[in-house]
Structure 1
Amino acid sequence: MLALRLTRAARPAVQLRRLLVAAASAGTGFLLLSCLGHALNHPEAADAAALRLAWCALPLAATVYLALAVARTDPGTRPRPGLSAVGLGPGRLMAVSALTTALSTTLGSMLALLVFLHLRGDLSGLPFDGAAADALAAGLPLPVPATLTLLAVPPATATTAVALALRPRDPRPPATRTRGFGRFGAFGTAPRRETFGAYGRFGGRGSGSRGAQAPEADTEDTATDPEPPAPDTEREATPAGLPWGVALVTAGLAVHAHAGRSTPAPSVAVLLGWLLTATGLVLAAPGLTHLCGRLLQSTRPGALRLLAGRVLMAEAARIGRPLGVVCAVASAGYAMTALYDSPAPAFGPLSALGALVVAGSTVATLLTAAVEARQSRADTTAALLRLGAPATMLRIAAALRAAALLAVFAPLTLATATLSALPLSR
């Protein structure tokens, strides 16, 4: 009941994001059901049906990624002071987020079932009644257990991912206990390092004589360990995946170049190359975003460039990963279209639906991550406005950040897609 009330009382923008999750779940569910229809029409081609079902993993992953991003930006389930006193602690809020995700994805699966039955011709009285009867095995009975199992995959996967990502964590840092050498080379975990001369006072603590204990106290008071230096927070905040991302992108392009030597190119090598390239783009995107922030602050920056660069550096991990996913999807889509000789590739309706689900979910995830970043720096923005910063400067800084990211990632995406498709299009 609490999840339903929070769902009904949400703002229109939040409801729109939930509807996007439902739409992505509906598209994924329809693709899964279409695989079932193909398997019913062609029972002898089990390998082709399994391959179709395996390709549905891409829209499923995009749907789960979007559902997780929407759950993180839901203001109704955000921890606030005083909620634990009324029974809404972190665990309860996590359960509410998971239940809200389950409601949205279940709604999408039900919509997918209705559309599937309508296109099969089982539901009449609406436009396009039975328009895809031949492709969806209209003359064969639909197995209910298999249908319910396929429709339950998007809600179960998205709900589990949200519950695992938003599970309560201990805010206290783990206690680090260093293992050192004790007296006479014995291993031990001492709270502080032994001072000089402690090895010569063996037995002094157990002798009970005050003369043997006083020098030990004086020595320990005078020979205290200095405070450890403060860590470099800026260096710790720098994403460390840029070298690995560059290495994976290079490996993926090398796999494509090797696959292009044989005609036709082996599908396994092409898929492996695209997987390595996409993983490298996702790993390298936070580091490139951080680098964009540094470049904006170079060569004697003013207040505008300094503000834009600092925000990019602070939000590099939050914005970089969805941006890397968008670049990977865009480069893969461009490479797929470049493999065809005609300007309009002959994609089927199911392929177009899958591409729409993947592309739409990744773009919506990027926009949702931008909303999450804006919510995280809401206090800083309010403080700047109270100090007299004009709202126009904040908007110009946001446009400058977008332009810097576009100037870096658009050529990178185009170059990666061109280099990926060049060996395969020969």
Structure 2
Amino acid sequence: MYYLRLARGYRTLDLARWTLTAAAAAVVAAFLLRALGRALSEPAGASLPRLLWCLPPLAAVAWFAAVAARAVPAQQPERITGLTAAGAGPRRIRLLVGGEIAAACTLGGAATLLVFLILRNDIAGPELAADLGMGVPLPAAAPVVLLAALPLVAGVSAACAIRFPDALPGRPAEPAADHAFAPLRLALPIGLTLVGLALELYGLRPGAAVDGKPVDLPAGLGATSTAVLIGWALAATGIALLTAPLLAVAGRLLPLGRPAPLRLLAGRGLTAQARGLGSPLAVLALAVALVLTAARHWTGTPGTAEPLPVVEGVLIVGCAGAAVVARLLELRAARRPVTDDLLRLGTPPGLLTGAAALRTVAAGTVLLVTGGATAILAAYALG
């Protein structure tokens, strides 16, 4: 009953978040049910790789659910205020928000399951018979247990992602954290990047093809050596961890010299938002780099592309992009008091708009650098 009352108060952003979550969950449910259908119609042991293929989109949906849920207290302070006034503590609010996300995933999974059962009723053609497991009895508990993982993972991720000490009204705000990145925190990503780059260069040296056994990559991406694959993974992880520090550096570079108010506001704002934007932008850059590298390989070698990886790539990039938008909305809501104070002091609205545009350009430049470096290393890894 609570969720029905909650839906009555949904605004455009709430409806968009709920609809996107349900749609992404429906696509992941289709992957899971396809793996189940293949497991019914093929010998035992062949279904494990297909189930593993479902993990990346499942993780993408859980990531989006976590980022979107974390933005709820900042975007809907009146809702959190009402729940707090009604006696709901942090644990119950986490359960309520997690249950809201789980309900959306359950609806998306139920819609896909309904379509799956309808198609199994001798409606689908022979090209879908193997994917649906037609002609083989379907255990009643199998699809229910399989699809139960979707709302469970997304709901738990959403509930654990909500931060309360600095978000709930009536609670003392935490002291502002220093936005500088300590050298020790920078040592890990820089070390990972350098080690990964060295390991990948070692695997790409002349004559390295005869050393060791090559690793066959999925989705028709060919084969590569173990050293190259591990090196790229380490370098990509290091570059992703460097995204937030690079954003902070870009924010500090903007007001260098004798800055005008535009550059000063843009630089201060980007430096303050570097930690919040770092993670979603890093995930988006990594996802786009992988998709572009795979598309380049498939274009160069026709006939190797497969429909399932293409759909999964689109879903992962879509979830990463939606997570970036959700984080931007959260940061915008958090900066609203500062923006109101600036406007009350007589700051021209055009100056705030220009500062936001300059921050976007600087963050986009960092994203191009990190994503481009990741894509170049991946292209060399595929040969």
Give me the whole-angstrom Cα distance separating, in 1, the residues matched to 2:154 and 2:261.
Answer: 42
Give me the whole-angstrom Cα distance separating, in 1, the residues matched to 2:197 and 2:354.
Answer: 37
The Cα of 1:302 is off from its aligned counterpart by: 1.1
Give me the whole-angstrom Cα distance separating, in 2, the residues matched to 1:383 and 1:107.
Answer: 42
The Cα of 1:169 is off from its aligned counterpart by: 6.1
Flag the structure with more relative contact order, 1 or 2, with Cα contacts below 8 A and sequence separation at least 6: 2
Q: Is the 8 A contact 1:318 1:369 kept in 2?
A: yes
SS of structure 2 residue aligned to 1:88: coil
Which of the pair has more CA radius of gyration?
Answer: 1
Give me the whole-angstrom Cα distance separating, in 2, the residues matched to 1:78 and 1:58.
Answer: 35
Please list, as runs of the form range in 1=range in 2, the aligned pairs for 1:4-403 lying within 5 A after superposition. Answer: 4-44=4-44, 46=45, 48-74=46-72, 75-76=75-76, 80-81=80-81, 83-118=83-118, 120-122=119-121, 124=123, 132-166=128-162, 236-240=178-182, 241-260=185-204, 261-262=208-209, 265-267=214-216, 269=226, 272-340=230-298, 342=300, 346-403=304-361
Give me the whole-angstrom Cα distance separating, in 1, the residues matched to 2:340 and 2:173.
Answer: 30
- Corresponding residue of 1:180: none
Letter in 1 for 2:189: G
The Cα of 1:259 is off from its aligned counterpart by: 4.5
The Cα of 1:246 is off from its aligned counterpart by: 2.8
Q: Is the 8 A contact 1:91 1:167 kept in 2?
A: no
Letter in 2 for 1:359: V
Compared CA separation, residues 23 and 341, structure 1 to 2 (3 A):
closer
Give me the whole-angstrom Cα distance separating, in 1, the residues matched to 2:231 and 2:27.
Answer: 27
Letter in 2 for 1:33: L
Compared CA separation, residues 78 and 59, structure 1 to 2 (3 A):
farther
Compared CA separation, residues 21 and 81, structure 1 to 2 (3 A):
closer
Compared CA separation, residues 114 and 307, structure 1 to 2 (3 A):
same
SS of structure 2 residue aligned to 1:10: coil
Letter in 2 for 1:374: R
Letter in 2 for 1:322: P
Where does the alignment leave 5 or more consecutive residues of structure 1 unmatched?
175-230
- Corresponding residue of 1:215: none
Q: Is the 8 A contact 1:94 1:167 kept in 2?
A: no
Cα deviations across residues 119-172 of structure 1 (Å, max 9, x unaligned)? x44285xxx777622333222222222211211111001111222233766978
What RMSD over aligned residues (CA atoms) do the two structures have, in Å?
2.9
How many aligned positions are there?
A: 361
Compared CA separation, residues 66 and 339, structure 1 to 2 (3 A):
same
Q: Out of 295-304 and 34-43, give the one that drifted further.
A: 34-43
The Cα of 1:242 is off from its aligned counterpart by: 3.7
Letter in 1 for 2:121: D
- Corresponding residue of 1:224: none
Letter in 2 for 1:252: G
Q: Is the 8 A contact 2:236 2:374 kept in 1?
A: no
Letter in 2 for 1:247: G
Q: Is the 8 A contact 1:289 1:316 kept in 2?
A: yes
Cα deviations across residues 238-259 of structure 1 (Å, max 9, x unaligned)? 2454432232233334444444
Compared CA separation, residues 69 and 123, structure 1 to 2 (3 A):
farther
Q: Is the 8 A contact 2:298 2:305 kept in 1?
A: no
Cα deviations across residues 299-355 of structure 1 (Å, max 9, x unaligned)? 221111111111111111111110000111112222223334637674322222211
Give me the whole-angstrom Cα distance separating, in 1, the residues matched to 2:186 and 2:79.
Answer: 33
Give me the whole-angstrom Cα distance separating, in 1, the residues matched to 2:21 and 2:194.
Answer: 34
Give me the whole-angstrom Cα distance separating, in 2, the residues matched to 1:394 and 1:333.
Answer: 35
